[in-house]
A and B are shown apart, each in its own frame.
Chain A
Amino acid sequence: MIQLESITRSFALGKEQINVLNDISLTIHEGEFVAIMGPSGSGKSTLMNIIGCLDKPSSGHYLLNGENVSDYSEKELASVRNRSIGFVFQQFHLLPRLTAVKNVELPMIYAGIAKAERQARAEEALAKMGLRDRMDHLPNALSGGQKQRVAIARAIVNKPKLILADEPTGALDTKTSMSIMEQFQELNREGVTIVVVTHEPEVAEYTNRTIMVRDGRIQSPSVADGR
């Protein structure tokens, strides 16, 4: 599913080159539920951005579903994000002026899906998240947990095989966090590969495997190949 081969990502800071990711090799199989953990500044966000095709590695190869996306143009990457990856963010990142159902429709707009089908699929996804009676609410009128469920509905609506969640419980209370993580577990049982970036061990406990990142390198003993 995800295959990283000696990925390096460096940024120029003045004259200096700073390697945020250092020769990372990592494989995540289809159907896994993985947590990426590490202290702030460890490079886990950069790793996440590369896995999410928001950023390109400075060197190394990234194969996503067998496609070598490290060679892709920005336009092709946009299409990969649209078709193959669902994002869930800490701050939910819903568009404040759009209702829940319109927010969920967004990825389908960029996928070029016709209006009627968009609406039907968005409603279906929201219903699956238990938000049948919140469809026409603006994000402001929703609780944190509800907002995150709308975001999850938006992430799954294009039926991607991979969901990337960046601190998905960071802005939620413990009880809501638990229910969101259970939601992810359920999606994982349906076959969706899920990668969660977190610094909370309780969150990582919901996953099958934890990858520790420190100083731009993978540190965990169960490193390269899980299972």
Chain B
Amino acid sequence: MSFFENLKMALSSLRAHKMRSILTMLGIVIGVGAVIIVVAIGQGGEAMLKTQITGPGNTIEMFYQPSDEEMRANPNILLQAPFKQEDIRALEQIPEVKRVVASSTQMSAARFQKKSIDVSSTGVNQAYLQLNELKVAKGRNLSTADFLGGRRVGLISSKLQEELFKGNNPVGKIITVANQPIEIVGVLEKPSGLLAFGSMEVYLPFQTWKIIYGSSDFTQVTLQAASAEQLQTAGKKAANLLNKMHNTEKSYQVINMEEMAQGIGQVTKIMTLIIGSIAGISLFVGGIGVMNIMLVSVTERTREIGIRMALGATRGQVLTQFLIESMTLTLIGGIIGIFLGWGASGIVSFFAGWPSLISWQVVVGGVLFSMIIGVIFGILPANKASKLDPIESLRYE
């Protein structure tokens, strides 16, 4: 008997008890759906964390970790900005480096009228804007002219707007930062995402910042490479260059993102596995439900089994019939579960601001897995059916 005969037969007997089939399927639907949700959100979270580390536009951060001798030679070395202007210019010459984003931050008091608040005041170079890290909600962004002319203009964070201006429109107002007047030209968007907290910030063109604080050094440097593949090369070259220029061994470093990404991947995989196995328990319970109903069905259809055997069905064919029936049940449940999980993880990611990823591997795996569940939990009932005595079964009322 062909597979399709069996499938058609299975579908017709499932249809004969619609309500029961649907309720049994529900266990599998929920189980598969839960696993899909967990995996989708886990993979989405992993992808998000990875992009947060590597930065959205193939960026890599440089940092300065002085050696013990340097610390002994200059105990204040950590308080000083480690990147000089000539460093930036040299970094820009590296072919793999597309942009060098440099900034410098100091804590200062920002004052408007009589109110004074401590803010972190950051001077940024023009590349900062091109990386598009500063999104303006109100007013305008810093312009090329602001950078070249060293104009006394700045952007403030939305949190600072709330605190200093009580939510009134600050664009065009003059505040003082470190006792120097600055005209506010724009307010930044509220930060979104899981790890973002609102903080008090002022952003100034670096030229302006340099005049206010009397320092032309940068505290932070981020490199942007032309492509993701060139990122590691660019990072290594940049670190070597700076160590050579500063005559240090390995104080200038870049974060090894591959290792970081692997570490994060491992953490999220373990998390996904733990939560996924909890979701898997519900799938297991669903499988037991299928087994239960199939056992009931075998008992109810004892006479049918006897008739089929009398008409020439072998025990193997009866076994196959019931296995395919339970597999059909779990397969349909699994497919519905995949769609349900897909929809639900979409909804979750919409509200959590967290992407969800459903790869084709997960879909194929889900389909195969629900079929396997059907086979595993169908074996016992199908075996029971195939072991029935045809004479007894024909007499069964």
Contact = CB atoms under 8 A, between A and B. Distances in A.
- Bound pair: A and B? yes
Given A78-B309, A109-B5, A158-B312, 16 more contacts: A49-B391, A78-B314, A79-B312, A81-B309, A81-B311, A82-B311, A83-B312, A87-B310, A87-B311, A89-B394, A93-B303, A93-B306, A97-B12, A106-B308, A111-B312, A112-B1
A54 B393 CA distance: 11
18 contacts: A74-B315, A75-B314, A75-B315, A81-B309, A83-B312, A89-B394, A93-B303, A93-B306, A93-B307, A93-B310, A106-B307, A109-B1, A109-B5, A110-B312, A110-B314, A110-B317, A111-B312, A154-B311
Looking at B1, B12, B13, B390, which has the most chain A CB atoms within 10 Å of its CB? Answer: B390
B167 interface: no
Interface in A78-107: 78-79, 81-83, 87, 89, 93, 95, 97, 106-107
Looking at B16, B310, B313, B316, which has the most chain A CB atoms within 10 Å of its CB? Answer: B310
Interface of A: 49, 52, 54-55, 74-75, 78-79, 81-83, 87, 89, 93, 95, 97, 106-107, 109-112, 154, 158
Contacts of B316: 75
B304 interface: yes
Interface string B16-33: 100000000000000000
Contacts of B307: 93, 95, 106
Nearest to B397: A91
Contacts of B1: 109-110, 112
A52 B311 contact: no
A52 B310 contact: yes
Contacts of B13: 97
Given A49-B391, A93-B303, A107 B311 contact: yes
Contacts of A49: 391
Looking at B311, B313, B390, B394, which has the most chain A CB atoms within 10 Å of its CB? Answer: B311
A83 to B, nearest CB: 7
Contacts of A93: 303, 306-307, 310, 394
A134 B44 CA distance: 59
How many residues of B sit at the interface, in one of the four size bands?
A: 20 to 34
| 6 pairs of A and B residues whose beta carbons are closest in the complex | A82-B312, A110-B312, A78-B314, A107-B311, A93-B307, A81-B312
A107 B311 CA distance: 5
Contacts of B308: 106, 110
A116 B101 CA distance: 75
Contact of A107 (B304, B312, B315, B391): B312
A78 B394 contact: no
Nearest to B310: A87
Given A82-B312, A110-B317, A54 B391 contact: yes
Contacts of A52: 310
B328 to A, nearest CB: 16
Contacts of A97: 12-13, 16
Given A95-B304, A109-B5, A55 B311 contact: no
B306 to A, nearest CB: 8
Interface string B244-261: 000000000000000000
Nearest to B315: A74
A111 B316 CA distance: 14
B300 to A, nearest CB: 11
B111 to A, nearest CB: 85
Contacts of B313: 78, 110
Contact of B310 (A54, A74, A79, A111): A54
Given A54-B390, A55-B391, A75-B316, A110 B311 contact: yes
A4 to B, nearest CB: 18
B46 to A, nearest CB: 49
Interface in B164-198: none
A203 B308 CA distance: 27
A89 B5 CA distance: 25
Nearest to B318: A78
A38 to B, nearest CB: 18
A84 to B, nearest CB: 10
B266 to A, nearest CB: 52
A55 B391 CA distance: 8
Contacts of B391: 49, 54-55
Contacts of B12: 97
A82 B307 CA distance: 12
A135 to B, nearest CB: 17
Interface in B275-334: 303-304, 306-317
A125 to B, nearest CB: 14
Nearest to A87: B310
Contacts of A74: 314-315
Contact of A106 (B311, B314, B315, B390): B311
